[in-house]
Structure 1
Amino acid sequence: MMLPLYTQESSGEEQLLRTKLTWLAVATLSCPFGAMVFCITWSLLYDFDRSTATHCGVPNYLPSISAAIGDYSPQRYVWRVLIGLHAAPRFLLCTAAVRRRKVALHTVSHTNFHKQMESIGHWLGYLEIAALLGITYVSSIENHGVHATFFFLFVFCSLAHMMSVIIVARWVASSDNAATIREWKSRCWKQRFFVVNVASIILAVYVYNRHNNYCEPGAYTIFALVEYLIVLSNMAFHMTSYWEFAGCHLLIISDIGDKSF
């Protein structure tokens, strides 16, 4: 049995499974989105007082992401199960996206800088997923220091990965080979979600510091809302690959060698 392949055309071998990468992308990203919605909703309905409590003791109306996904059950278990399930196809999609960009990059004249950016973005994508798993399985109440380390690693790798992808996409689009409508749409929305993500992170840091320094009523609620926006814009950025994967399939094929039993 061969490993799953990313390709746009069947190689002629016997196909055991064939599915559109666009379907896989939607199913994969639905896991963290669904888990986030469930955890926040359940926390508001059944753990409101505990999940919204802060050290300041001022009124707060929304749980932070960390409180919603890791501090109470069944939220922590739902989050861990769905993030764990989405990890393997997420790594696969990351690899597929890298191969897709490499194909686009090699169709144009490119510099070593752009090749290096693509290579760096490749590994940053993997590190981002690994950091997300770290945030998931090490909660803030179990080990705050390790959880915080994984969180900052996730934010750094996420931003750096987004930037590297955008740089390569802009270079391909500005080349002699014009990008398709789908690729152009994907690049435009990537840039927009990246800007939203960066602005949300800056705002979150500002509001969080105000909350800690002044204990203003409602400040932590604003922080939680901005935190949701950070996560959603990150998911949306990755979901833009939907347009790039159009016409591409995941294949599981039989070995062309000896098939005797």
Structure 2
Amino acid sequence: MASSSSRYKDKDAGVVLSFNGQWVSWSHTVAASLAFLSALVIGSALHYHKIVQNEWYGYPQEWFPSVSATIGDRYPERSIFMLFIAITSGPRFALVGLWYLLTAKPGRTLPKVIAGSGIIRTLTCGGWTYITSTDDHDWHDILMISYIVFTIPWTTGCIALSPPNAKAIKYRKYIASAFFGTLVPLVYFFIQHKVHRVAGAYTIYAFFEWALIVFDVSFDAVTALDFDSFEITIKDVKGASKGYVQWLPR
């Protein structure tokens, strides 16, 4: 009978990197947060009066920038945002894949549907962030609305498929309720700005728009509570790397 040490040696043979699944969630959360926060800080520091200006009013009636104006109107914040959002795409696709592996069961269709909506949601996110309102206002809005539409099955599906983790389920329900609840005042204040031309309405709209970003990123961050059960291992099966086992901390 093989000894315990030999079994561990066989298990680690050829392993060049091993890390817990939580790292996928945290890397996605950090990269996405840096993308938006860096654009907001740099844009406010360099072009504050320009990014709070809209078609009807500017400072002081409007004093907080919208997400679209922050990430898409000016250099260098636009470029820095696009750099970080590109970095975010890798962990985002990995997050969708791990969620499918966690929830897939023989004969179940829902996990496949949710994974598909997660992929489309990721692609539309790239659409409205790389095609800004300055580049093409119509396509920017179409892709943003599509992103919100595909967020509905992703969010409800993740809640429905959640493993029996009471803390994760509670957080998902709270964050999802806040996300969809924010859409109502968001639409209201956008109409106040766009149709009725109310001074200051766009600033209030901008706060709700940024809140959606926070809730959206936070919802996906909850996967860290579920991915703790995964260990992702990269093996060199041919021994080309001649490396050693590297374990990232949990």
Sort the TM-score into its range (normalised by shorter chain): 0.7 to 0.9
Cα pair 1:121 1:164 within 8 Å, conserved: yes
The C-alpha deviation readout for 1:27-69, integer Å capped at 9, x for no partner, is 2211111121111122222211110111122611111101101
Partner SS, residue 60 of structure 1:
coil
Q: CA deviation at 1:217?
A: 2.2
Q: CA deviation at 1:247?
A: 3.6
Tell me how far apart the structure 1 counterparts of residues 110 and 182 of structure 2 sit (CA, whole Å). Answer: 25
Cα pair 2:24 2:94 within 8 Å, conserved: no
Tell me how far apart the structure 2 counterparts of residues 60 and 189 of structure 1 sit (CA, whole Å). Answer: 33
Check if 1:120 corresponds to 2:113: yes
The alignment covers a number of residue pairs equal to 231
Q: Structure 2-normalised TM-score?
A: 0.86
Cα pair 1:32 1:79 within 8 Å, conserved: no
C-alpha RMSD of matched pairs (Å): 2.1
Moved more, 89-98 or 191-200: 89-98
Supply the AA of the counterpart residue of 1:48: Y
Tell me how far apart the structure 2 counterparts of residues 148 and 200 of structure 1 sit (CA, whole Å). Answer: 18
Q: What fraction of aligned residue pairs are identical, expressed as a percent?
A: 17
> What is residue 201 of structure 2 aligned with on the other side?
219
Q: Structure 1-normalised TM-score?
A: 0.82
Supply the AA of the counterpart residue of 2:78: R
Supply the AA of the counterpart residue of 1:157: F
The C-alpha deviation readout for 1:129-176, integer Å capped at 9, x for no partner, is 11111112211111112211211111111122101111223xx6xxxx
Cα pair 2:27 2:91 within 8 Å, conserved: no
1:245 to 217, 227, 243: 227
> What is residue 82 of structure 2 aligned with on the other side?
80
Tell me how far apart the structure 2 counterparts of residues 132 and 215 of structure 1 sit (CA, whole Å). Answer: 29
Tell me how far apart the structure 2 counterparts of residues 95 and 164 of structure 1 sit (CA, whole Å). Answer: 14
Partner SS, residue 16 of structure 2:
strand
The C-alpha deviation readout for 1:100-157, integer Å capped at 9, x for no partner, is 122xx56xxxxx7xx3322211101111111111112211111112211211111111
Tell me how far apart the structure 1 counterparts of residues 169 and 158 of structure 2 sit (CA, whole Å). Answer: 9
Q: CA deviation at 1:23?
A: 2.3
> What is residue 163 of structure 1 aligned with on the other side?
156
> What is residue 142 of structure 1 aligned with on the other side?
135
> What is residue 98 of structure 1 aligned with on the other side?
100
Q: Which runs of 5+ in 2 are unaligned?
A: 1-9, 241-250
2:190 to 208, 211, 214: 208
| Gap change, CA 1:258 and 1:237, over 3 Å in 2 | closer
Q: CA deviation at 1:188?
A: 1.1
> What is residue 176 of structure 1 aligned with on the other side?
none
| Gap change, CA 1:122 and 1:13, over 3 Å in 2 | farther
> What is residue 28 of structure 2 aligned with on the other side?
28
> What is residue 233 of structure 1 aligned with on the other side?
215
Tell me how far apart the structure 2 counterparts of residues 167 and 243 of structure 1 sit (CA, whole Å). Answer: 16
Q: Which runs of 5+ in 1 are unaligned?
A: 1-9, 107-111, 173-178
Tell me how far apart the structure 2 counterparts of residues 258 and 14 of structure 1 sit (CA, whole Å). Answer: 6
Q: CA deviation at 1:13?
A: 4.7
